[in-house]
A and B are shown apart, each in its own frame.
Chain A
């Protein structure tokens, strides 16, 4: 029996891109956990009273990249934004407790903004977001 739903079934890569965009749209549209911008409130743009400050000299790069920010969506914590200024093996910022992972999360290698390499980072169970180092690939 047919229902009112729709199934997208295709092998085209564009569908995956569209799916990613849809997920992003859902994340952005979910107001129950808004994006929280990392930085010093109220001097840093976009920060709110619950914004955690940067640590160890890190800061957001800013335009054209989004500021370092995070939000919770469903059962995931989403991190985004470009950052700069701190040393290797240091804490970038600390997530509030409701965003802490149960186990240590070694994040997948991330891209540098100029695509010259990748960087490693991880999130500890105490909410510290740690930058390890970058490597040219």
Chain B
């Protein structure tokens, strides 16, 4: 049995694989013991949440309608610190739209993400993935629910499955440590530790494998881009030429010019086919980094990675649901 990385864990999965299509919001709840701690810019214990939705495009040619999501906090009155200095109370901050500011809501209809063109990525097996970054500046307590609504105006969403992934950083404080010597022209190359054995879907190497994904988040900056991987090094055959095979599935950018707490968030992933002993290291590069200019603008880069299994592919299979009279 392969050993899964501990940097990323699935804290919630709606368990749905609904052939009848989406008929209502998906609600994921952060279970007891999985609270997300306060995200401290420049801190060493940052964690993040990634909402990943897996679905199939076959009913509507790969075009998915607007995707909406919200965090419905169980308690909006907590007195968590306010590192952003906005004076806004609340538990959650979603990095998709800076105009939304720091919000906490108990209203499931108050969507905090309303993306008309969600960055779905399609792969040759017909599966679609998307991801929404959820950056809990103030942390998310146990029992916090994340509600997702998919606008089905362009077609129903069949066979969806939603995951709420939590990752712990492996590179916090990275930018802060190098900020003094960096002026935006030098590529950063944080290296993710070896993945170890990468599990796969089945021993025959068939099927849909696992998805190895990396995510990177930069916070506390005034201007930045994350350009992606420059290379992925592997001891196994399947990852050695991975640089051109990674697919970006999520991207959010919040310019921190207003509040000095901007965030850049990206997720890349690729399909892993049946290679048991692959080891991967990733090098990120970001090209337009403007380092903090004051002490209250600390910077941090958080890099997470993990492996997730998609649900089984959809097939148009005949289904017995019959009765007939037996002989005597």
Select from chain B the residue with minimum beta-carbon distance to A100: B327
Categorize the interface residue count of chain A: 35 or more
Partner pick for A84 among B317, B321, B325, CB 8 A cutoff: B317
A64-B19, A113-B19, A114-B158 in contact; A105/B325 too (CB < 8 A)? yes
A99-B326, A100-B326, A101-B326 in contact; A79/B321 too (CB < 8 A)? yes
A111 and B326: CB pair below 8 A? Answer: no
In the bound complex, residues from chain B placing their C-beta under 8 Å from that of A131 are 318
Query: Bound complex: CA of A78 vs CA of B322, how far in Å?
Result: 6
Query: Bound complex: CA of A112 vs CA of B318, how far in Å?
Result: 4
Query: Bound complex: CA of A63 vs CA of B58, how far in Å?
Result: 19
Partner pick for B324 among A65, A83, A107, A111, CB 8 A cutoff: A107
A123 and B324: CB pair below 8 A? Answer: yes
Tally of chain B residues near chain A (CB < 8 A)? 21
Within 8 A of B (CB), among A84-116: 84, 98-102, 105, 107-108, 110-116
A113 and B323: CB pair below 8 A? Answer: no
Partner pick for A81 among B319, B326, B328, CB 8 A cutoff: B319
B324 and A61: CB pair below 8 A? Answer: no
Select from chain A the residue with minimum beta-carbon distance to B17: A64
In the bound complex, residues from chain B placing their C-beta under 8 Å from that of A83 are 317-320
B326 and A76: CB pair below 8 A? Answer: yes
Known A65-B317, A113-B318; 8 more pairs at CB < 8 Å: A76-B324, A77-B323, A81-B320, A84-B318, A102-B325, A102-B327, A111-B318, A112-B317
* Interface residues in chain B, defined as those with a beta carbon under 8 Å from any beta carbon in chain A: 17, 19, 58-59, 158, 312, 314-328
12 interchain pairs, CB-CB under 8 A? A64-B312, A68-B320, A79-B322, A82-B315, A82-B317, A83-B318, A100-B327, A102-B328, A113-B317, A119-B318, A121-B320, A131-B318
* Interface residues in chain A, defined as those with a beta carbon under 8 Å from any beta carbon in chain B: 61-65, 68, 72, 75-84, 98-102, 105, 107-108, 110-117, 119, 121, 123, 125, 131, 134
